[in-house]
Structure 1
Amino acid sequence: MQHVIGAAVQPAQCDVIRHSHERSATFGLFETMRPDYAVLSGPQLAAKLDESRALFAHALPVMETLYAQIANTHSMIALTDATGLILHSVGDDDFLARADKVALRAGAVWNEAHQGTNAIGTTIAERAAVTVHGDQHYLRANRFLTCSSVPILDPHGNLSGVLDVTGDRRGYHQHTMALVRMSGQMIENRLIASAFGDGIRISFHSRPEFIGTLMEGIAVFDLDGRLLCANRSAQFQLGLELGRLRSQTLEALFGVRADALVASAGDAPCRFELHSGVAVFASVDVHARAASNVAIAPAARDAAISNLANLCTGDAQMNDVVARVRKVIGKNIAILIGGETGAGKEMLARAIHGDSPRRAGPFVAVNCASLPETLIESELFGYAPGAFTGAARRGAVGKIVQANGGTLFLDEIGDMPLSMQSRLLRVLQERVVEPLGAARAVPVDFMLVCASNRKLRERVAQGEFREDLYYRINGLSVTLPPLAQRTDLRAVVDGMLRRERFAGRIVGIGDDVLALFARHPWPGNLRQLSNVLRTASAMLDDHDTHIGVEHLPHDFLDELGEPVRTDDTPPPANGARLADIEAGAVTAALKTHGGNVSATARALGISRTTLYRKLRV
């Protein structure tokens, strides 16, 4: 057994390391050998990211939070899939440079067969949290490291990936594993929350103050009371592993029938007696499709789909937007969203609200461009009874007051008349609203999110937008990428088809359709994509499971110069299509330049963004 510097090693840990060393030897590895430094190319890594997009989307914000806790400790955080392939890493620049020398970066594989004993690979082998410190690594090349890893299980109990913190062995901290464990549990809880759209979710603990924390147990049941999933805390509190829990019912575990619980959902707090006799406090959420006999509240439905994690589907630009937004949520900082028409500004605003401390409050959206100038004042600020001719007898509550306690989203704020801008500025400064004709001001408290497809700085310079209002609403400015520049088109399409169920059911799209989508400029962005998918879904027959080229709107195909296909349309000459020829040329050029994307793009006379898009096709 190798000596360990600065770490107290428990007997059980010694056994784990010893068994791992024995396995490493059976793989044909020896201590002094050069590790396998092979790293997947960009297209291959992108395909693997797509396979693990749910894990990646939910892990990314947790990794950022974890990094904020360990920054400047000469370490890094890595996320891998179930095979040990690193999907993403973040860390201190000085340590990343050293880690890069042993291929501890995205695209490298760190299972035991490749790297011998190491925290990632040994965690996969043991399906348990593992710390491997310094000389405990099997390969000498890795012994300058100390690594702490935890397995991440999917909602069904299968290994989904590994979360790891790796650093210089000289900076080893005993508390690192505790932070990694908590972060892994957060990811697992996020995966559970997103996996089951319909059902009964019970969050419980014997101490009520632990509800809403990482200590709470989470159990999910279908509407008939059959258990679907339980997190690790729930398994511990219920005294059964997930395999045995799956045969249990809601009534057997919590002593209450599903129909009775559905009928009383929302009543708080709940108190149950577990099958073991232990009393627990709980909060209950019920989610059901409209087709069910259980109605889901609009706020609950919006919360289910309006989550920032759902927007992280593999595109680096979107991931950056979400990461920046997360840091200001709940800190009374106004958010200004830029981007082209249809790029998803309201979707992001709803997601911000859904993840904010104000998510239980209202989300009030106002499109400043769609309201006539004569009505915008009364719509925003409301009015007292008899304030003007034609006013409602009882007056009206304005949108700003309606947003009290929640989020006010002012879309296309660049089109707000100057006269209204001054009134809005006063509301934001004083946090009170004076309805038209009212003798008294109304105090308000809301989170402000604004959006515009116009360049507001230019409108300020032109005297069409107040400079003081611009700086008031521009606490954090983010810009959504246009759809044509995004690298997660497949995930965007699949997510839209899954959420909207345009055909009354979930359908997919063919690879040839995705290839056409990748070539399209999408001037209408997500809104245009939604319309194309809606129309194509209407063309499907009952037996169709995928949208094909023959289902696409003819005007969409015309924009691409594609012939409209019918059953009698002959195949392209020689079986070749322009897209196939183009893909062959790109592949050949990439091979010629040894996989160097920048050199390949220069040789083809295109940008790297365009090249990545063509590689994705």
Structure 2
Amino acid sequence: MSTAHVRRPQLQGAQTQHEHVETILRSLDHSDGSGEAVIERSWRRCIDLYGLDPAAPSPPRYVPDRTLREHQDQADALIQVARAGVEQLYHQVMPLDYVVLLTDARGISVQFLGARDAQREHQRTGLFLGADWSEQHAGTCAVGTCIQEQAPLTCHHSDHFSAHHIRLTCTAAPVFDPDGQLLAVLDISAYRSPESKASQTFALQVVKHYARMIEDAYFLQRYGGCHIVCLDRSREFVQINRRYLIAIEEDGTLVAANTAGRKLLRHHELPLAGAGEARPFKAWNIQDLLDAEIGDVLDIQHYGYDRVRAFRTHRHHELHFATLIEPPRRRTTGGQAPRRDTSLAPLEALADDDPAMRDTLTRAARLRNEPINILVVGETGTGKERMARALHESSRRRDKPFVAINCAAMPESLIESELFGHEPGSFTGARSKGMKGLIAQADGGTLFLDEIGDMPLQLQTRLLRVLAEQEVLPIGASRPIKVDLRVVAATHRDLRGLIDLGQFREDLFYRLNGASLRLPPLRERADQGYLIRRLFEDLQAERGGQRVRLRGDAMSALLAYPWPGNIRELHNALRYALATCEGDEVVVGDLPEECTSGQLAHPAASSPIAGGGRVRPPLGEDPLQEALRRHQWNISAVARELGLSRPTIYRRMKRLGIVPPNHQMPT
């Protein structure tokens, strides 16, 4: 081994750097290469293979913005799955001043979370989105060395090859795909930490735990159409721990396994498929591993009190406890799918797996044909009118009118005639032929009274009579008209509080509140991803034209936003993104500013959130003017650099009073 090209730094103000270089050289000079530890092996690669110099200046390397997006596109499926794990890990380590990086298999950071007030330090040290942490460039470091060694490790202070990094402590763990190929690296890093490397022992366990969680979540998503056998040595923890995951087909054929599952199969001498083989393990069956019939395995969920069954392995007779994750379409007897009540489709489309919404929809399904009025309660924008329409469309009244009235938007001077109708000439300004009121128009169908809490007291009295007698008296008429009504009312206000204040009639409240359905705010719903995808598809169908995909970084931003305006705000945000996006995908920079506020900006001019990509950074006059001058007022070039759309640049220029030389601002 030759170390002749390595410079020994002068000692003027560089004692620590000098000692670091001397430690590396002394260690390698006295080693023959056999039996070296992980860090020493990496140091040797840095000198022998990469020709790196630990004393040479080594500022962080960032890939260009376009290259970063290419890396993110290739890792998009992983980013979407990993988002929750990265965020949970960050909340665990944030109080200790760690940042979290998720890199792809080449060491490029495609996802990042860190404290906003330390942005300069993040960028200066390379602990940021778009940084290249490959060992070939950065030298010995947690990410790059983890990629080379394919194993979790901590690179603490002077373990780093480059003297530029010796103040850092970094801990990384690999994430493998179901074929055993490196998929990504999860890393936590900090600028300040105790001198002892032992202080990072717990950090290593935490990162390994979350890397395994991300890996298994990716496995479950990829093989969601298979039966997945979950094994553990403990009955009590198999449902939670799911240590070994093995995907099988209906006949028991092995399809894939997670990292722990592959180790189990090797232990029992079931050969694994080679890299690139279309169907891993295709020559093997779950019955070759477990002493069981395939029917015993597929019926685990229906066995015993805890849906767990014990099996012994063939080779070593080890006892394992198993549970089963079944694919969405469960097996049915006789080859026929169970009959489904298609009339419930409008209600079922309102939610996916949110527990509160499923409970609400279950009650709504039972009430949809009952002759009682329903009160829908929820914050503004939670979809109260959608619920009312779904109740109507799933009921036997679906072929009759659905009439919606916003009690807060209708002028008080017109609301009585609009609701109840009027006879010809019954008052000044009345129509010559009279008018059929909205209540009468809803005859046989559903009358939806939105924001019922804002209805004037005088009209509450008349509405009460309508509900009690099922008849309406138009203004100027002498005889009432019979109506067959089903009333669904909605409010975001506390009606009981309004009753106490004398602003709402108690008897009307009980007449309207035959049953109550409560809609949770969007920020509390577990099915936000479903709602985002469904609304996105609905809006695309409305627009027609080229199909657009919602990229993982945009989805991550949408999932991270608290949505004070609920579903209505989400609908507007997606409509905006579709209108401003360029090309065939919506990225995070295409979202409204409020959906991405408080996030960090990528040094190469894009901005990350928990998923990376382009985000609108908060721009003041100076940064925008600087970018405009640098690009000689080329708006398209500025938009590309800042990760914004051209209309956004023009709007900000107009707001800030920035006018191109010898030009007028577009209106």
Coarse TM-score class (shorter-chain normalised)? 0.5 to 0.7
Question: Within 5 Å, which residues of 2 pair with 1:113-152?
Answer: 113-152=136-175
Residue identity opposite 2:548 in structure 1: L
Task: Choose the corresponding residue for 2:191, options 162, 168, 187.
Answer: 168
For residues 277 and 189 of structure 1, the distance between their equivalents in structure 2, rounded to whole angstroms, comes to 26
Q: Which amino acid aligns with 1:352?
A: D
What residue in structure 2 maps to residue 544 of structure 1?
Answer: none
> What is the Cα deviation at residue 47 of structure 1?
4.2
Q: Distance in 1 between matches of 2:334 and 2:634?
A: 56
What CA distance in whole angstroms lies between the structure 2 residues aligned with 1:213 and 1:47?
Answer: 36
Q: Does 1:255 pair with 2:291?
A: yes
Structure 1 residues 524 and 182: alpha-carbon distance in aligned structure 2, compared to 1, 3 A threshold? closer
2:637 matched to which residue of 1? 591
One-letter amino acid matched to 2:176: L
The answer to whether the 8 Å contact 2:360/2:519 transfers is no
**Structure 2 residues not aligned, in runs of 5+:** 1-19, 25-32, 274-280, 378-446, 454-487, 555-567, 575-583, 585-630, 655-667
SS class of match (1:209): coil
Note closer, same or farther for the CA distance 1:603–1:232 as it changes in structure 2 (3 Å cut).
Answer: closer
1:357-372 matched pairs, under 5 angstroms: 364-365=361-362, 371=368
Residues 116-515 of structure 1: matches in 2 within 5 Å? 116-171=139-194, 172-214=199-241, 216-238=243-265, 239=267, 244=272, 246=281, 247-263=283-299, 265-267=301-303, 268-275=307-314, 276-287=316-327, 289=329, 349-353=351-355, 364-365=361-362, 371=368, 374-376=371-373, 415=450, 456=492, 478=523, 512-514=546-548
The 3 A distance-change label for structure 1 pair 365 and 123 is same
Q: Provide the C-alpha distance between the structure 1 equivalents of 2:347 and 2:187, rounded to a whole number of angstroms.
A: 34
Which residue of structure 2 aligns with residue 560 of structure 1?
none
What SS does the corresponding residue of 2:129 show, helix, strand or coil?
coil
Change in Cα spacing, 1:186 to 1:75, as seen in structure 2 (3 Å) is same
Which residue matches 2:92? Answer: 69
Maintained 8 Å contact 2:311/2:319: yes
Asked if the contact 2:176/2:182 (under 8 Å) is kept, the reply is: yes
Give the 3 Å change call, closer, same or farther, for CA 92–291 of structure 1 in structure 2: same
Give the Cα–Cα distance (whole angstroms) in 2 for the partners of residues 166 and 265 of structure 1: 42
CA distance in structure 2 between the aligned counterparts of 1:476 and 1:515, rounded to whole angstroms: 26
* 1:68–1:36 distance in 2 versus 1, CA, 3 Å: closer
Contact 2:312 2:319 survives alignment (8 Å): yes
Task: In structure 1, give the amino acid aligned to 2:352.
Answer: R
C-alpha offsets along residues 175-194 of structure 1, whole Å, 9 cap, x if unaligned?
10000001011111111111
Calculate the TM-score normalised by the size of structure 1.
0.53
* Structure 2 counterpart SS, 1:174: helix
Report if aligned partners of 2:180, 2:259 keep a CA contact under 8 Å in 1. no
Say which of 16, 19, 43 aligns to 1:21: 43
Q: Aligned partner of 1:118: which letter?
A: C
Q: Aligned partners of 1:287 and 1:458: how far apart in 2?
A: 43
In structure 2, relative to structure 1, the CA distance for the partners of 1:363 and 1:130 (3 Å cut) is farther
Distance (whole Å) between structure 2 residues aligned to residue 525 and residue 229 of structure 1 = 38
Shift of 1:94: 5.2
Q: In structure 2, do the counterparts of structure 1 residues 209 and 106 end up closer, same or farther at CA, with 3 Å as the change threshold?
A: same
* TM-aligned CA deviation for residue 474 of structure 1: 8.7
Compute the displacement of 1:169 (Å): 4.6
- Aligned amino acid, residue 277 of structure 1: H
Structure 1: gaps (5+ residues): 5-10, 302-341, 381-411, 419-451, 498-509, 530-547, 549-584, 609-617
Distance 1:57 1:473, change over 3 A: same
Task: Name the CA distance, whole Å, in 2 between partners of 1:270 and 1:229.
Answer: 21
Quote the Cα distance in structure 1 between the aligned partners of 2:41 and 2:640: 39
Match of 2:317, SS?
Answer: coil
Return closer, same or farther for 1:220/1:491 CA change in 2, 3 Å cut-off. Answer: farther
* Deviation of the 1:62 alpha carbon: 1.2
SS at match of 2:95: coil
Q: 1:68 to 1:288 in 2, by over 3 A?
A: closer
2: CA distance, partners of 1:597 / 1:212: 44
- Look up the equivalent residue of 1:15 and give its one-letter code: A
The residue type paired with residue 351 of structure 1 is D
2:317 counterpart letter in structure 1: G
Taking a change above 3 Å as real, the CA distance of residues 516 and 136 of structure 1, as seen in their structure-2 partners, is closer
Q: Which residue is equivalent to 1:555?
A: none
Residue in structure 2 matched with residue 81 of structure 1 by the alignment: 104
2:61 to 37, 48, 52: 37
Change in CA separation of 1:66 and 1:593 when aligned onto 2, cut-off 3 Å: closer
- In structure 2, the residue corresponding to 1:60 is in which secondary structure? helix
Tell me, in whole angstroms, the C-alpha distance in 1 between the residues paired with 2:546 and 2:375.
50
**How many correspondences in the alignment?**
407
User: For the residues of structure 1 that align with 2:331 and 2:653, how far apart are their CA atoms?
Assistant: 48
Relative to structure 2, which stretch is displaced further, 169-178 or 89-98? Answer: 89-98
Retained in 1: the 8 A contact 2:300–2:323?
no
Q: Contact conserved, 2:85 with 2:214, CA < 8 A, in 1?
A: yes
Q: 1:155 to 1:287 in 2, by over 3 A?
A: same
Query: CA, structure 1 residues 278+94, in 2 after alignment: closer, same or farther (shift >3 Å)?
Result: same
Q: Which moved more, 1:139-148 or 1:97-106?
A: 97-106
- Give the 3 Å change call, closer, same or farther, for CA 168–589 of structure 1 in structure 2: same
Change (3 A) 1:187 1:280: same
Offset, 1:160: 1.1
Going from structure 1 to structure 2, the CA distance change for 1:40 and 1:295 (only over 3 Å counts) comes to: farther
Alpha-carbon distance change, 111 to 72 in structure 1, aligned in 2, over 3 angstroms: same
Whether the 8 Å contact between 1:186 and 1:214 is mirrored in structure 2 is: no
Superposed displacement of residue 215, structure 1: 6.2
Q: Write the distance in 2 (CA, Å) between the matches of 1:28 and 1:38.
A: 20
AA of the residue aligned to 2:181: N
Distance in 1 (alpha carbons) for counterparts of 2:144 and 2:294: 42
Query: How many angstroms does 1:79 deviate by?
Result: 0.7
Shift of the 97–458 alpha-carbon distance from structure 1 to 2, 3 Å rule, reads farther
Match of 2:201, SS state, is: coil
Q: Closer, same or farther in 2 for the Cα pair 1:489/1:211, shift >3 Å?
A: closer
Question: Once the 2 structures are TM-superposed, how far is the Cα of residue 270 of structure 1 from its aligned partner?
Answer: 0.9
Checking the alignment, whether the CA contact within 8 Å between 2:452 and 2:490 is kept in structure 1 is no
Paired residue secondary structure (2:287): helix
Cα pair 2:178 2:259 within 8 Å, conserved: no
- Structure 2 counterpart of 1:221, one-letter code: I
CA contact (8 A) 2:107 2:185 kept: yes
- The structural deviation recorded for 1:48 is 3.1
Residue 155 (structure 1) shift? 1.8
Residue identity opposite 2:231 in structure 1: F
Contact in 2 for aligned 1:118/1:137 (Cα 8 Å): yes
Cα distance in 1, alignment partners of residues 139 and 35 from structure 2 = 16
- Identity of aligned pairs, percent? 22
Q: Secondary structure at the match of 1:165?
A: strand
Deviation at 1:78, TM superposition (A): 0.8
- Give distance in 1, aligned partners of 2:334 and 2:253: 16
Residues 154, 293 of structure 1: alpha-carbon distance in 2 compared, 3 angstrom cutoff? farther
Q: Distance in 2 between matches of 1:22 and 1:90?
A: 32
SS at match of 1:108: coil
